[in-house]
Amino acid sequence: MRKPKSKKSARKVAARAEAPDITIRAWEDDPGSGVLGDRPVPDLAQRPLAYVFPRPAPRPAAYQPGTPEFRYWTTAEALRRGADFWANLVPLSKWEVGPALKVLLDEGEDLNAFYDRKALNFFHGPSPQGTVFSAESPDVACHEMGHAILDSFKPQLWDAASNEVAAFHESFGDMSAILSALQLPSLRTAILSDTGGHLFRNSRLSRLAEQLGDAIRAQNPDAVDPDCLRNAVNSFTYEDPIDLPPFAPARELSSEAHSFSRVFTGAFFESLGSMLTAEAATPSAPTSQELLAVATDLAKILVQAVQEAPVVPNWFAQVAAGMVQIAGSFDAKYPAILKGVFVKRSILSLDTATSVAALHRSMAATAAPKDAEPLAEIALASRHYGLERPLLVKAASHARPFAATAAAPDASPIDPASAATAAKGFVDDLFRSGHIDYNGTGTPETRIAHGRGLHTHRLVPRANGIRLERKLFNCGFCCGGP
Binding site for Zn ion (CB under 5 A): 170, 173, 473, 475
Q: How far is the CB of 150 from Zn ion (least distance, A)?
A: 10
Residue 173 or 416 with smaller CB distance to Zn ion: 173
**Partner residues linked to 26 by β-bridges:** 37
Cα 189 from Cα 382, distance rounded (Å): 54
CB of 261 to Zn ion, least distance (A): 8
Contact 356, 367 (CB under 8 A): no
CA distance 292 to 439: 47
State how far the Cα of 471 lies from the Cα of 436, in Å rounded to an integer.
10
CB of 174 to Zn ion, least distance (A): 8
When the beta carbons of 215 and 291 are compared against Zn ion, the nearer one is: 215
Q: How far is the CB of 162 from Zn ion (least distance, A)?
A: 16
Minimum Å gap between C-beta 144 and Zn ion is 7
Complex with Zn ion: residue 170 or 290, whichever CB lies closer: 170
Task: Give the CB-nearest residue to Zn ion.
Answer: 475
d(CA 289, CA 183): 10
Give me the least distance between CB of 17 and Zn ion, in Å please. Answer: 39
Residue 73 or 268 having the CB closest to Zn ion:
268
Q: How far is the CB of 352 from Zn ion (least distance, A)?
A: 28
Which CB, 265 or 325, lies closer to Zn ion?
265
* CB of 173 vs Zn ion, minimal distance in Å: 4
Nearer to Zn ion, 63 or 85 (CB): 85
Query: Is the Cβ of residue 170 or residue 239 nearer to Zn ion in the bound state?
Result: 170
Please, which residue, 85 or 473, has the CB nearer to Zn ion? 473
In the complex with Zn ion, the residue whose CB is nearer, 114 or 342, is 114
Least separation, in Å, of the C-beta of 11 and Zn ion? 34
